[in-house]
Amino acid sequence: MNRKEFINKSLRLGVLTGIVGGSLFLVKRNKVDFTCSADGVCKSCSLYRGCDFDKAKQSRNDER
């Protein structure tokens, strides 16, 4: 293996590592824990607008 091949392979491996690492970071970052921690008080919850629980959906429908 000469120097040119070594540099090319190293750069490819580095780019591949960056892509895989970046993808894993983005997937992990977007995980949201939708466990209810507001003792059932939906309107005071910080996740109220994006919550998928039936109680929150019903509460949003009742507002309209």
Are the beta carbons of 53 and 37 closer than 8 angstroms? no
What digits encode the pLDDT tens for the residues 14-46? 999 999 999 888 888 876 555 666 666 666 676
Q: Are 45 and 51 in contact (CB under 8 A)?
A: yes
What is the predicted pLDDT for the residue at 3? Answer: 95
Q: Check residue 37 and give its pLDDT.
A: 65
- For 1-64, where are the alpha helices, taking DSSP H only? 3-29, 54-63
pLDDT of 6 over the 80 cut: yes
What was the pLDDT predicted at 19?
95
Phi, psi of 45, rounded to the nearest 5 degrees: -80, 145
